[in-house]
Amino acid sequence: MGKFDTKETVYKYVIQKKANRRKGIPQWLQKEIVSETLGDEEFPCYHIMLSGKTSDRKVFYLYDSEHCYSMAEGEWRFVYDLMKLIDAEFYIPMYPLAPEKSCKDHFDVLIKTFSELISGFDMEKVILMGAGTGAGSALSLNMIAWQEGLAMPYKTVLLAPVLDAEYRDHALRLKMQQAKDSYSRAATSQGAIDFVREYWVKDYEGNMEYTSPIHEGTNYVTGKVLVASGARDCYNVHSRQFCRNMYDSGKKPYYFEYRNAGHAFYLDRKNSESRHLRKILQDFMTDSRSAIIDKYLYEVRHRGIISKRFPTIFKDEIATKYLANHKINSEDYKRRSEYRNLVSAATSRDYDEAVKLFLMEYPESTVVYVGCSLDTMFERVDNGRVMWYNLDSPGRIAVRNMYTTDSCEREKIIDRSVNDLTWLDEIDCEIDKGLLFIFRDILSYYKEDEVRDLMKMLYERYQGCNVLFEAHSQMELIRSNRYAERMGAEYRRRKFYMNYPASTIESWDPRYSVISSKPILDGIKMSSDWSPKLKIMFQVRRLFQGTRIMRIRLGYEKFAALFEK
């Protein structure tokens, strides 16, 4: 019999592991910090700060106890690293745990400790932070404090949150069991589930605000909320569901999901995902952008520049206004040539015009902007009737939420990687009213057979849909790859090209048709204020254009068949 097969075997395993885990602040850390012990002896709250430093920024940190254990040494090290990054004082309560104590005992201590501490704090300077089961407790604390009228911190951070101790949702449990994480087998075993219900949930079964906050509404969640999770973590389904609940209620969490990360990945100093998250936390918790956010915002700066340089071709009012009020650090980026700026302006214009034309034909259609990043195309093209989806990775969507507010109820968010095709399940549309997929600067990084397979998938699922994308010639592809290498940026090799777009698309499937194929510099008039070099490059490149904005239709619209009968 395995150690996770029954609640009895889990009980024995937990007791043995608890006996071997040290309690309190590790000795090595005591040499680096100043600490004081608050509360009673049984369940103290440790107040720690860097030696010789005090700070107005306070972090109330709830560690990952897995419902049973004292704080692990790796998590103490994580707190120490974070304390140095954000210059803050940490308050870390120790609390009752299973199997000796239950959820009720846990929150009796936690609420008392929290309410006593915050009475003397400026809540604008307080951050509520939790990891694992501690993140679940933090979310519960949000709800309970709201119900009892307690002041709440302006910021909440949830790392790899565990949000359902009762395992009420069978579908979520099945998804957890599919996770590519060694942690999932133990976490989803029947023995572990029965143990948590017996010794942790106990008499609080059905009190979701304490045991399973994911099943409660999000009205109680106030201020800014950051959620970070690994896609390989079995508890990732909790993070996704919670953030979806917030989106549905009109709130916008900052959600960062790391594709190759498992549970508690943030503890590993050498892990690239952990290093990235720590920079995100530094910016979020200190109201800064210098650690990493400015790298995301560089494209906003670029759109503002081309709007200012070529206003008759393309204009992005949101980017222009943002730049007027925010300085973006661009030291890590080399300046683009004037010709490249012109091409960017022309490309943005052509995409906007193609979408506007589609909306004239299908005014009540659905548009899915795949890989939207921080672009605000919806505001530029909105006809007042279209249903719009902005789709990108959780990290970019989170930064997007910092940059702008998608406030219109017709503008939805899908926080998924482009390669995670489960985003197709999020689209709610009436295909007979028109459906357009925008793949700006996405498909050229795929191989041709990958693009063909994607089109086939879209055709089979949404017959008659339209697809908008860039098509490079082979020569333009080679030129673009060489330019990227010279720029010294993170180099991604483009792979997909079409020298003869119409015949290539027809070779994929004769049911596909080209609606439009527009060279990106068509219709642009040379300006007298351009430099002589730009004028020459413009004239030469316009004769040998290698990039087109393609709009294709995959099959026939369903409603068209009605008229053909």
Q: How many CB atoms lie within 10 A of CB 525?
A: 7
The fraction of the chain above a pLDDT of 70, given in percent, is 95
C-alpha triplet 348, 349, 353: angle, nearest 5°: 120
For helices 532-543 and 338-361, give the axis angle rounded to 10 degrees.
50
Enter the DSSP assignment of 197: I
Contact in structure between 95 and 284 (CB atoms under 8 Å): no
Secondary structure (3-state) at 285: helix
pLDDT of residue 147: 78
Mean pLDDT within 2-9: 82
Beta strands in 416-511 (DSSP E): 435-439, 466-472
pLDDT of residue 51: 85
Tokens of 339: 């010709």
Residue 565's pLDDT band, with cuts at 50, 70 and 90, is very low
What span, in angstroms and rounded, lies between the C-alpha atoms of 86 and 398? 20
- Name the residue among 195, 210, 191, 197 with its Cα closest to residue 143: 210
Rounded to the nearest 5°, which phi and psi values hold at 473? -75, 165
Contact in structure between 444 and 472 (CB atoms under 8 Å): yes
Termini Cα distance of the chain: 66
What span, in angstroms and rounded, lies between the C-alpha atoms of 281 and 6? 39
Contact in structure between 492 and 445 (CB atoms under 8 Å): yes
With 0-12 / 13-18 / 19 or more C-beta atoms within 10 angstroms meaning exposed / middle / buried, residue 460 is exposed
What span, in angstroms and rounded, lies between the C-alpha atoms of 134 and 210? 12
What span, in angstroms and rounded, lies between the C-alpha atoms of 188 and 167? 9
pLDDT of residue 406: 57
Secondary structure (3-state) at 39: strand
Residue 11's pLDDT band, with cuts at 50, 70 and 90, is very high
What span, in angstroms and rounded, lies between the C-alpha atoms of 426 and 214? 20
For residue range 103-155, what is the model confidence (pLDDT) as tens digits?
999 999 999 999 888 887 888 889 999 999 999 999 999 888 877 778 888 89
Residue 329's pLDDT band, with cuts at 50, 70 and 90, is confident
Q: How many helices (H) and strands (E) does the chain have?
A: 21, 15
